[in-house]
Amino acid sequence: MLTAQLTLDPDFTIGDTDPRLFGGFIEHLGRAVYGGIYEPDHPAADSSGFRTDVLALVRELDMPITRYPGGNFVSGYRWEDGVGPRDQRPGRLELAWKSIESNAFGTNEFVQWCEQARTTPLLAVNLGSRDADAARHLVEYCNHPSGTAWSDLRIAHGFPQPHAIKHWCLGNEMDGDWQIGHKDATTYGRLARDAARSMKLVDPTIELVVCGSSGRSMPTFGQWELEVLEHTFDLVDYLSLHTYYGNPAQDTPAFLAKPDLMGDFIEETVALCDAAAAKRATRKRLMLAFDEWNVWFHSWDQDKRVTPWQMAPPLGEDVYTMEDALVVGGMLITLLNHADRVKIACLAQTVNVIAPIMTRTGGPAWRQTIFHPVSHVSRFGRGTVLRQAIQSPTYDTGERESVPYLHSACVWDPTAATLTVFALNRSLDEPLALQVGLRAFPPFSAATWQVLRDDDLRARNGEHEPDRVAPLTREGAQIQPDGLHAVLEPASWNVIRLSTAP
């Protein structure tokens, strides 16, 4: 049996979790919108066409912020096409995903959906095929009270009160040559600067996310950030970063180590932001928006066989495994352990497209395996993230040496006197005896323990077996004089909550 020890002290902290760390993402891609969140003919649809079964699951995830409408989609999007009477909205070729976009669902519908889903919008503007004028016009349409052409148009469309959208992305993945309107860092930086200025002139209260690198492996990573921030540092509030991991080689130990690479990416990006600050001799510290992250690889081959120019074709419909849930849990742990600088994070995406929630058009909705760690961290990960002194055995992969078998994050809620330990045992065949030193805490008297694991790492949930992989309650987490003791099963996701409650 492996053994690991971690020691905690409530005075040694990383930072408080921002609720926006637990966000989601809806893009006009595949069945994310049509057949996902919006399906007027579905038996469970409400009067707005929103699927109420999906809404219930999104509320269960408790995602305080949701990014929209893209993603690659936004770089060719005319937002004006998606507002006003539906019978007057034009259909368009959607070039990013080679689909047909009806524009039956647009900005106003998304705002209404957010209200029902108990989330807030993070709107992206098109800086691929459009300019700063289109961006500021959208802010005016959404946020200005009345008395101007764009605000009065919103009122004419049936929305007399401003939407008051606070968070905005300045384009999407503009460093990628796959992006409509792809630009070099200087060209994008200048356009983002101009858009940021004009958008904040319309509404000085908004917060802006500027595009960082769309992956740590991008050849321009580092150079891109420094050049973009040369033009935008004083105008923006967050720098974005994106990452997706997969396991096409079926190397499970290396796959489970991927969340550590995510941590490297965050720390390197923080260093770039702080270098830009140091150059300006400013105390301003730019925060990060990790507004796309997930596992994505199962649907690659299937997507190549989809006939182009369909309406809402099945794209990106990864059917997630137990193994994927472990990696998503590990990525959530990484985000928690960087809560001092990562203030916004958006799981990409929320429904059907690389998503924790799957639906059948006209049929049921169900939780994928990855739903469970996302739900656990959203519910129990709000508080103060503690620094950990960890001693754990390690293993090596082709990408990284000395990967700890224990990957963990600990969140302390002093008001409720509750400590939550999120712990991943990355060993595939050995249990891990964990001891958590708690000498600086008040006495805990109760411990609850939920475990997500399956003997088959390829186990999946589906329409006919929606709970094949689901959390189970475990006994055996013991509070002893020297701290918490628990034996973590091989390849398991664990949530242990300690409290002073009897």
The CATH number of 2-10+385-499 is 2.60.40.1180
Q: Supply the mean pLDDT for the chain.
A: 97
Rounded Cα gap, residues 393 and 4, in angstroms: 7
What is the spatial order of strands in the sheet that 310-311 belongs to? 92-94, 99-101, 310-311
**HEC-encoded secondary structure of 292-328:** EEEECCCCHHHHHCCCCCEECCCCCCCCCEHHHHHHH
Kindly report, residue by residue over 117-174, the tens digit of the pLDDT.
999 999 999 999 999 999 999 999 999 999 999 999 999 999 999 999 999 999 999 9
Kindly report, residue by residue over 246-263, the tens digit of the pLDDT.
999 999 999 999 999 999
Phi (first) and psi of residue 23, to 5 degrees: -90, 175
Phi (first) and psi of residue 496, to 5 degrees: -115, 120
Residue 230 has pLDDT above 70, yes or no: yes
Residue 500 has pLDDT above 90, yes or no: no
At residue 447, the pLDDT reads: 84
R_g (Cα) of the chain, nearest Å: 23
At residue 502, the pLDDT reads: 61
DSSP 186-234: HHHHHHHHHHHHHHHHH-TT-EEEE---S-TT-TTTTHHHHHHHHHHTT
Among residues of the chain, what percentage have pLDDT more than 70?
A: 100
Among residues of the chain, what percentage have pLDDT more than 90?
A: 97
Residue type, 423: A
Give the mean model confidence (pLDDT) for residues 259-279.
Answer: 98
Give the mean model confidence (pLDDT) for residues 323-337.
Answer: 98
- For residue 138, the number of C-alpha atoms closer than 13 Å in the C-beta half-sphere is 31
At residue 128, the pLDDT reads: 98
If one counts every other C-beta atom within 10 angstroms of the C-beta of residue 362, the result is 10
Identify the three-state secondary structure at position 498: strand
At residue 132, the pLDDT reads: 97
Catalytic-labelled residue, pool 80, 140, 173, 225: 173
At residue 445, the pLDDT reads: 85
Bond from prior residue into 349 cis (ω within 30 degrees of 0): yes
Token pair 């309650």 is found at 473
Lowest model confidence (mean pLDDT) among 6-15, 279-288, 337-346, 474-483: 474-483
At residue 368, the pLDDT reads: 98
Residues 297/247, Cβ–Cβ less than 8 Å: yes
Rounded Cα gap, residues 346 and 118, in angstroms: 15
CATH 2.60.40.1180: which residues of the chain?
2-10+385-499
Phi (first) and psi of residue 451, to 5 degrees: -130, 140
Kindly report, residue by residue over 77-120, the tens digit of the pLDDT.
999 999 999 999 999 999 999 999 999 999 999 999 999 999 99
CATH 3.20.20.80: which residues of the chain?
29-380
Residue 1 has pLDDT above 90, yes or no: yes
**Is residue 115 annotated as part of the catalytic site, yes or no?**
no
Predicted TM-score (pTM) above 0.95: yes
Residue 501 has pLDDT above 70, yes or no: no
Could you please state the CATH topology (level 3) that the domain comprising 29-380 is classified under.
TIM Barrel (3.20.20)
Q: Which uninterrupted H or E stretch holds 241?
A: strand 238-245
**Is residue 292 annotated as part of the catalytic site, yes or no?**
yes
Tokens of 4: 């690991």
Rounded Cα gap, residues 133 and 362, in angstroms: 40
At residue 45, the pLDDT reads: 98
The secondary structure of the chain in percent helix, strand, coil, rounded to multiples of 5, reads 30, 25, 45
Catalytic-labelled residue, pool 39, 109, 292, 317: 292
